[in-house]
Chain A
């Protein structure tokens, strides 16, 4: 049978870096192909060529005999051909539920009919097939799931595609425990037998040797070996990957100091770190003491409490009654460079010296010559060139960035060095260098505590603490640490493998975001009723709410921008401009007026486009736009005045029994906002607000969605402006200027998150009405209207605090 994917002499360069260098390969149908290589070997680039994210400079690439190397090939086309990628970074949107996340991946299959139910069924069925016994539902909110469950949804989402032909998995087991990994590997074997081609990228060689049929091994952009499982083994792969002669292979469990030794000049009496007995499975054994000169590993199954313990050590103080006590300064090396490691604007040298600088008093001077002195030993040890030290750190390779972070911790001179999986995704050459450095550092009298996701690294430790379910279950000292002893300690004696992953916690139900604003509104309404019962009659309510309607509409406009994790500081001014246009131009020259309103919408969309394309912070851009809208308003109408078009006035005074016009406008607006939020369009917008990278990888066009977001915002702003005209039958460019900040307040009070794309239209209605009724309430209470702003401020802080406290208590 002909192969599914064939590449001939593929080359792809980014600037001077040749990421993929004339690579030729074939991927068989119904086989599992392992793609191996260190950081910067070219695996990711090769994946990007397959998935349509980028195109090769040279060479040919075919999928199922279709050429896929041309510029017309895209992520969308790749998906249509049946190619799906599960990326290493989590690519689900945590503000959506599992079914909605499935929709983002499989929108083409769910284009018609009641897609929600279909999506929900499909995601639940697939999850059950791949990971039996999970407790994730289609309606489960992704943000409330564990990392492992999120990863499971992501894998299931790709596997659910009925047209799937090639499934590419980039380190899919990194956040799964052993039982779940096992289920996944079983499933992949099963699907491969049924004809699916799988490409599996990973660093855990044992797992991969068990799984894969074929191997592609890359190094420095070149394919160094390809062949079937039968022709390779662990030893051979290590040599291929590291490009070292076999002689220097063995590092073995070499260790600085065993328990009895005393490092020169260091006292054995005082433990640098003490972990209280409460951390132990058997507290009666007392505290675990960690001394100078040790390399202590924190081992266990993924998520058994290793990282929390490490972070506790970082945050620990010398207080004796704490769970963890630390009696020395601490330095920290992360494996998550982007999130908690590098400072992207700085040079390598500045990145290296920050920890030591941060220890000094804040008014002391920093000097380049001192920094050179500090960095010199590590510059030499890790062989950084002089120019590498002066360049922005992001221009360095991943491995070199990691070396810089290690140097930062060692220049710091702290006696305790905490390692949070620092070799994650680093090639084997750099790893070896690190092992040697760590041994030397321990020998010099520092204490190293090391969490690793790669079990083999614990063989480098002088002592290993094995954690199980958040407690220290065993202590293994250096020479006894073997793969076998570690593995048996991980699982405990009485437990079987399958039990370890169970039970998965069921998804937590979050408090509905509209609850607090509803309570606030009820209190305000009740208070108003107390002072003036007639205010709560239908007529009274209509009167009260007529002033609230424009703010509600502006708040919806704000909400859609907030769904994109941005803030619009121009929307109030825009509503004011619409107010002016509709009360002047629209009355005198209806045609010109309509054209002006349309132009306003276009301008807003354009603003959204500029913000996205030029990557301008929306906050400042919209603040600038506010001045443009206000200026236009002044030019059109220098002083308040104008009149309302007849049809608009009529619409606001339509006699509908029992339901005053403001209330039905409010209901229609709320319904529209809810429908848009839940629609396919709304899901895409919210997806972008939560995880833009993931949305791009799924093939959704970012610019279009950004422009649509701003158009939606403008439409609600337009409605708000028309309402102002209808209610006030006049216009004032400043009529809505206070609404901008109030709308931000309403959106936050209503239960939306400013970052992350979580929105709550119903809550926004309650919050906006509450804010606008405060003036009336203070009036009834015979308090000066001067106090409105302060009350609004306190309510805003109060509600946000309440919500934070609530979230933390859970």
Chain B
């Protein structure tokens, strides 16, 4: 029991349980049907947020600000390359994967080689992608989504959303990567103390580059799945994912300062954030108040749960 409570994601889990209780007892409006809707939205968020978590864990104040632009552009590309045909879905996925990996690689290159702070690098790359999306949008006519993609994004297997299974597998794989692999150690080392990691023989640039590329890939996957859920692509569709992905990372108990990431927590954090939004929709709270609550919540979680890092023992 004590071990359970020392887990970094314990607060996210308690939050989820509390909200669930509140929703099902308080409003009588929650049934298995909309619960699986919540889970599907949360799964989509968690896919993107896991990428964000990897970048945040590289430390150095890193946040991937290019995620929203990658989501939007890959939704556009996937929709237009696929053209509503299952046969072309693989092609669409490949195109989008190339985009995500390319953006991640570009981010890493700017951060590592040009020594530009991550936030500036990903910001600038995001700007460039925004223009690319606008240009793409001009010649964009398709609104058809491949049925297979729509099924993966919105379908269910015996009541469980398929996309939740995708997210679960990703979470499990990331957990292994973080906690049981050499890469996880390297990433944590880089996030805690970049110089020390270099001198301990960790290849700092490769380690961070992998995190950025994974983040780009996951954002691209998120964009494709999102296009499947909303049947198409529109401008700014990725925008809400910036705060929400950072929020899920923070609520999920990963250290925003880097060095400690947690995939399972990020999944729980995503569920929690989506539940908050749903609760407010169920309660018919006006849009403005929803923003306020979401923002205050992030601040509150940060203020209460930020682990005060131990200071070095003084002689």
A334 to B199, CA, bound (A): 9
- Chain A positions within 8 Å of B290 at CB level: 631
Contact B288 A631 (CB under 8 A): yes
B61 at the interface (CB under 8 A from A): yes
Interface stretch, picked from A288-296, A363-371, A478-486, A494-502, is: A363-371
B281 at the interface (CB under 8 A from A): no
CB-contacts of B171-185 with A (<8 A)? 180-185
Expressed in whole angstroms, the minimum distance between the Cβ of B44 and any Cβ of chain A is 20
A154 to B110, CA, bound (A): 37
A396 at the interface (CB under 8 A from B): yes
A392 at the interface (CB under 8 A from B): yes
* Chain B residue at minimal CB-CB distance from A426: B315
* Chain A residue at minimal CB-CB distance from B179: A366
Expressed in whole angstroms, the minimum distance between the Cβ of B64 and any Cβ of chain A is 12
A380 to B131, CA, bound (A): 61
* Chain B residue at minimal CB-CB distance from A40: B315
Question: What is the 8 Å Cβ interface bit string for chain A, positions 416-439, against chain B (1 contact, 0 not)?
Answer: 000000000100000000000000
CB-contacts of B191-227 with A (<8 A)? 192-193, 195-203, 210
Interface stretch, picked from A191-199, A349-357, A702-710, is: A349-357
* Chain A residue at minimal CB-CB distance from B123: A741
Specify which of B183, B195, B288 is in contact with A632 (CB 8 Å cutoff).
B288
Contact A788 B131 (CB under 8 A): yes
- Chain A positions within 8 Å of B63 at CB level: 619-620
Interface stretch, picked from B71-79, B87-95, B254-262, is: B254-262
A627 at the interface (CB under 8 A from B): yes
Contact A634 B298 (CB under 8 A): no
Interface stretch, picked from B12-20, B152-160, B305-313, is: B305-313
B86 at the interface (CB under 8 A from A): no
B33 at the interface (CB under 8 A from A): no
- Chain A positions within 8 Å of B134 at CB level: 784, 786, 789
- Chain B positions within 8 Å of A365 at CB level: 180-182
> Could you list 9 examples of A-B contacts with CB < 8 Å?
A343-B192, A362-B186, A394-B313, A610-B303, A614-B303, A793-B128, A794-B124, A796-B127, A804-B114
CB-contacts of A603-628 with B (<8 A)? 607, 610, 614-617, 619-621, 623-628
- Chain A positions within 8 Å of B185 at CB level: 350, 354, 357-358, 366
- Chain B positions within 8 Å of A627 at CB level: 243, 291-292, 294-295, 298
A304 at the interface (CB under 8 A from B): no
A44 to B128, CA, bound (A): 52
Specify which of A332, A343, A394, A623 is in contact with B312 (CB 8 Å cutoff).
A394
* Chain B residue at minimal CB-CB distance from A807: B115
Expressed in whole angstroms, the minimum distance between the Cβ of A358 and any Cβ of chain B is 4
B125 at the interface (CB under 8 A from A): yes
Question: What is the 8 Å Cβ interface bit string for chain B, positions 93-133, against chain A (1 contact, 0 not)?
Answer: 00000000000000000100011110111011111101110
Contact A789 B130 (CB under 8 A): yes
A332 to B201, CA, bound (A): 9
Considering the complex of A and B, which 6 residue pairs feature the smallest CB-CB distances, nearest first? A631-B291, A634-B288, A627-B295, A793-B127, A790-B131, A624-B298
A358 to B197, CA, bound (A): 9
* Chain A residue at minimal CB-CB distance from B125: A793
* Chain B residue at minimal CB-CB distance from A331: B201
Specify which of A14, A620, A632 is in contact with B256 (CB 8 Å cutoff).
A620
B32 at the interface (CB under 8 A from A): no
Specify which of A343, A350, A633 is in contact with B196 (CB 8 Å cutoff).
A343
A345 at the interface (CB under 8 A from B): yes
Contact A619 B61 (CB under 8 A): yes
Expressed in whole angstroms, the minimum distance between the Cβ of A344 and any Cβ of chain B is 6
CB-contacts of A627-641 with B (<8 A)? 627-636, 638
A549 to B290, CA, bound (A): 31
Specify which of A744, A786, A790 is in contact with B119 (CB 8 Å cutoff).
A744
- Chain B positions within 8 Å of A635 at CB level: 286, 288-289, 292
Q: Mark B residues whose CB is within 8 Å of A.
A: 61, 63, 65, 110, 114-117, 119-121, 123-128, 130-132, 134-135, 138, 180-186, 188-189, 192-193, 195-203, 210, 242-243, 246-247, 250, 255-257, 259-260, 286-299, 302-303, 306, 308-315
Q: Mark A residues whose CB is within 8 Å of B.
A: 14, 39-41, 43-45, 314, 331-332, 334, 337-346, 350, 354-355, 357-366, 392, 394-398, 408, 412, 425, 567, 607, 610, 614-617, 619-621, 623-636, 638, 741, 744-745, 748, 754-755, 784, 786-794, 796-797, 800-801, 804
The answer to whether residues A745 and B123 also contact, given A344-B309, A344-B312 and a CB cut-off of 8 A, is: yes
Specify which of B130, B196, B296, B299 is in contact with A790 (CB 8 Å cutoff).
B130
Contact A346 B195 (CB under 8 A): no
- Chain A positions within 8 Å of B128 at CB level: 789-790, 793-794
Contact B184 A366 (CB under 8 A): yes
Contact B193 A340 (CB under 8 A): yes
Given pairs A340-B198, A358-B201, A364-B182, 5 additional interface contacts (CB within 8 A): A342-B193, A394-B311, A634-B286, A741-B65, A787-B131
Expressed in whole angstroms, the minimum distance between the Cβ of B48 and any Cβ of chain A is 16
The answer to whether residues A786 and B135 also contact, given A358-B189, A398-B315, A624-B298 and a CB cut-off of 8 A, is: yes
Expressed in whole angstroms, the minimum distance between the Cβ of A426 and any Cβ of chain B is 10
- Chain B positions within 8 Å of A363 at CB level: 181-183
Contact B200 A625 (CB under 8 A): no
Contact B192 A632 (CB under 8 A): no
- Chain A positions within 8 Å of B309 at CB level: 344-345, 615
The answer to whether residues A360 and B288 also contact, given A626-B295, A796-B120 and a CB cut-off of 8 A, is: no
- Chain B positions within 8 Å of A358 at CB level: 182, 185-186, 189, 197, 200-203
Expressed in whole angstroms, the minimum distance between the Cβ of A564 and any Cβ of chain B is 13
Contact A355 B313 (CB under 8 A): no
Expressed in whole angstroms, the minimum distance between the Cβ of A349 and any Cβ of chain B is 12
A40 to B93, CA, bound (A): 59
A339 to B126, CA, bound (A): 32
Contact B119 A619 (CB under 8 A): yes
Contact A425 B257 (CB under 8 A): no
A371 to B142, CA, bound (A): 56
Expressed in whole angstroms, the minimum distance between the Cβ of B247 and any Cβ of chain A is 8
* Chain A residue at minimal CB-CB distance from B180: A365
The answer to whether residues A628 and B291 also contact, given A357-B185, A567-B119 and a CB cut-off of 8 A, is: yes
The answer to whether residues A631 and B123 also contact, given A343-B189, A358-B200, A366-B181 and a CB cut-off of 8 A, is: no
Contact B131 A786 (CB under 8 A): yes
A550 to B175, CA, bound (A): 46
* Chain B residue at minimal CB-CB distance from A625: B295
Contact A797 B295 (CB under 8 A): no
Find the residue from A342, A392, A786, A794 having the highest chain B CB count within 10 A: A786
* Chain B residue at minimal CB-CB distance from A741: B123
A363 to B183, CA, bound (A): 6
